[in-house]
A and B are shown apart, each in its own frame.
Chain A
Amino acid sequence: MTDLTVTLGRGLTLKNPVMVASGTFGYGDEVADLLDYSELGGLVTKSISLEPRDGHPPPRICETPAGMLNAIGWANMGVEAFCRDNLPFLAGLRTAVFVSVAGSSQAEYAHVIEAVERSALEIAGYEINISCPHVDKGGLEFGVSPEETEKLTSRLRAATERYLMVKLSPNVTDIGEIAQAAERGGADAVSAINTVIGMELDPATGIFKVQTGLCGLSGPAIRPIALANVYKVSQAVSIPVVGMGGIMSVEDVVRFIRVGAQAVQIGTANYRDPRIGLQIARELPGYLAKIEAPGLEEIRGSAH
């Protein structure tokens, strides 16, 4: 059997490279009837903020060609309820669990991590959602500025000994520069990409299909954008890169590994079938054998 384990540094090893992405697997327990979580390489929760958030009014989503738009608005129960109601279930799973952290200030991100640390429940670490508006900076997203990204990362690095992964936005001039800022700040890994800014509207009425107008595009429509960004990030940093964006199949996973990803996350495809992550993980050895690749290490970064 092909060895699918993936070493991510800081003593963290995934049993396979296939994780499920933040915001596409809820709090984790919604689909417990359908799958065995222990077959997943890892799971990233939906983004958790300090206080509960209502999120955006409907309509929050819209289907587009080979994709979908969303503006959920970080609707979540807040870290206190999360630690009480969901974290015990997540900590009991036999897969690497990452809590996705959202905030509107550096302090809020840190307080979320501190609350999870106080719960003393075992998780693998955190993924930092830097696509949040920074209230002290006029609502500009943390993730569009290398300085803010580095400052935030080093602040959070000081808050936890656990794995720290920073999730990058593609909606920037130079994603490599932001990735390097996260690396300088002490991130153990970067994950990319978050959704691509998009919009759809009714031609007859001019009404936006998603209430906020500007929203995030995901799904196979963004896969080529994601591959290009993961390629650029892999060239820019020496820490592991976790790739994502429109992965629907085992072939897509191998595409991301070949542009330099250490591991991958499945996002929108979970909405079609929450079992797709573990199905892909099961198919991976067979596909590697078919393309005569001895293992993931041998093909990583081999795009040419």
Chain B
Amino acid sequence: MLLEECEVLSNKTLASGLYEMKLEGPGICAQGRPGQFVNILVNPSDTPLLRRPMSIAHVNGTTFGLIYKVFGQGTREMSSWQPGHMADILGPLGNGWWPTDDRLPLLVGGGVGIAPINFLHQRLSQAGAPHQLIMGARSGAEHFLEHDPSAGITLTTDDGSAGIAGTVIDGLKAAISRQDNQAVTVLGCGPPGMLRALQSFTMSHEIPCQLAVEEMMGCGVGICMGCSVECRIDASLAQAGEGRRYRLACLDGPVFSAGELVLARD
């Protein structure tokens, strides 16, 4: 974890409603792992008061990328940053996806959850590690990759304008059907509805699954305890005093084993 003054190198539209920012940050790049995030100070005034947490979307040398949507005041202001702007960034924070023995990783991303999934895809590709990538969006205009199942990239769209018409679960089923009974593991990130669907699908098919959650955060480093995530309490752990019902997205996550998460309705 370090605080780094990062220069914005580029900041532009990546796909419909989606921005990509590239920043110079040697320290963050050296330490960052897929699933980890950075916490960005939007401006030095009192509003917005809190930093904005964003997953690392890729790392190239000493440059890292963010992929984000404009949701509110903070991200709107960030979308106006020009190359040369210096940003005060704290990171890398949290825990990423952890290695999964010899199971084939199926990477599933939706919404801005595609950002950390993209980083994981990049790292596995660089390592020559076989894996499949499944990305979901409402329409083709929101995608920035090409649907190419032979290259391990499956896109889904709600409106059928690119890739498979349907949700990431349909994409996941298609990717699984292409395997010759090889054991798989699912590594996912996306909006709450997608996480619930992934949790339900993987648990009913007994597929190991690690999900990265998105939570409102106050600090990103565990000192405010605001980003609570409800977890199932294992009775034996509870007796040992370790069965904490609420864990922190920033410190204990954002990646959790799907089986331990209690995912609330929207």
Partner-B contacts on A (CB < 8 A): 23-26, 30-31, 33-34, 46, 52, 54-63, 65-68, 70, 72, 75, 78, 81, 219-221, 248, 268, 270-275
B-to-A contact residues, CB < 8 Å: 1-3, 41, 46-51, 88, 90, 215-219, 221-230, 241, 244-246, 251, 264
- Whether B224 contacts A24 by the Cβ 8 Å rule is yes
List of B residues within 8 angstroms of A62 by Cβ: 216
On whether the beta carbons of B46 and A66 are closer than 8 Å, the reply is yes
Residue in B2, B48, B90, B228 whose Cβ sees the most chain A Cβ within 10 Å: B228
CB <8 Å contact, A58 and B246: yes
Q: 7 pairs across A/B with beta carbons < 8 Å?
A: A34-B3, A56-B228, A58-B227, A58-B264, A61-B227, A219-B46, A219-B49
Q: In the bound complex, do residue B228 and residue A23 qualify as a contact, i.e. CB atoms below 8 Å apart?
A: no
A220→B223 contact, CB < 8 A: no
Taking the closest CB of chain B, its distance from the CB of A5, in whole angstroms, is 27
From A33, A52, A270, give the contact of B219 (CB < 8 A): A270
Complex Cα gap A26–B245 (Å):
18
Whether A24 lies near B49 (C-beta < 8 A) is no
Nearest CB in chain A to that of B223: its residue = A26
Q: A34-B2, A67-B49, A271-B224 are in contact. List 20 more A-B contacts (CB 8 A).
A: A26-B222, A30-B222, A55-B228, A57-B228, A58-B227, A58-B228, A58-B230, A60-B228, A62-B216, A63-B216, A66-B46, A66-B49, A68-B50, A68-B218, A72-B225, A219-B49, A270-B223, A272-B49, A273-B3, A275-B3
The minimal Cβ–Cβ distance linking B75 to chain A, given in whole angstroms, is: 13
Q: Smallest distance from the beta carbon of A29 to chain B beta carbons, Å?
A: 9
User: Across the two chains, which residue of chain B brings its CB closest to A67?
Assistant: B49
Q: Compute how far the CA of A61 lies from the CA of B47 in the bound complex, rounded to whole angstroms.
A: 16
Q: Are the CB atoms of B246 and A55 closer together than 8 Å?
A: yes
CA A65 – CA B50 in complex, angstroms? 11
Q: What residues on B are CB-neighbors of A221 within 8 Å?
A: 46
**In the complex the two chains form, is A65's CB within 8 Å of B218's CB?**
no
B218 near A70: Cβ-Cβ < 8 Å:
yes
A248:B46 contact, CB within 8 angstroms: yes
User: Which residue from chain B places its CB closest to the CB of A267 in the assembled complex?
Assistant: B224
> Chain A nearest CB: distance from B245 CB in Å?
4
Residues on the A chain within 8 Å of B51, using CB = 271-272
Determine the chain A residues whose CB is within 8 A of the CB of B90 once the complex forms. 273
Q: Is the CB of A63 within 8 A of B223?
A: no
B251 and A30: CB pair below 8 A?
Answer: yes
**In the complex, what residues of B have CB within 8 A of residue A52's CB?**
241, 244
Instruction: Indicate if the CB atoms of A57 and B221 lie closer than 8 Å.
Output: no
Nearest chain B CB to A205's CB is how many angstroms away? 10
- Bound-state Cα–Cα, A271 to B227, Å: 13
Chain B residues with CB under 8 A of A67 = 49
Mostly, the A contact residues are loop
**Cα separation A190 to B224 with both chains bound (whole Å):** 23
Cross-chain contact B228 with A66 (CB below 8 angstroms): no
Q: Which of B2, B49, B229, B241 contacts A58 (CB 8 A)?
A: B229
- Chain B residue numbers with a CB within 8 Å of A23 are 224-225
**Given A26, A55, A268, which contacts B49 in the complex, CB threshold below 8 Å?**
A268
**Residue among A31, A63, A248 making CB contact with B50, cutoff 8 Å:** A63
Q: Could you say which residues of chain A place their CB within 8 Å of the CB of B218?
A: 61, 68, 70, 271
Chain A residue numbers with a CB within 8 Å of B3 are 34, 273, 275
Task: A60 to B230: give the CA distance in the assembly, Å.
Answer: 12
Closest A-B pairs by Cβ, 8 of them: A61-B226, A26-B223, A271-B219, A66-B46, A30-B222, A54-B245, A220-B46, A58-B228
Q: By the criterion CB–CB under 8 Å, are A60 and B241 in contact?
A: no
**Are B48 and A26 within 8 A (Cβ)?**
no
A65 contacts which of B47, B216, B229 (Cβ < 8 Å)?
A: B47
Q: Which of B46, B215, B229, B241 has the most CB of A within 10 A?
A: B46
A181 vs B218: C-alpha distance when bound (angstroms): 34
Most buried by A among B215, B216, B251: B216
A248 to B222, CA, bound (A): 20
Chain B residues in 8 Å Cβ range of A24: 223-224
B223 touches A54 (CB 8 A): no
What residues of B have a CB within 8 angstroms of the CB of A63 in the complex? 48-50, 216
**B47: chain A residues within 8 A (beta carbon):** 65-66
Give, as a whole number of angstroms, the nearest-CB distance from A111 to chain B.
Answer: 17
A residues within 8 A CB of B215?
58-59
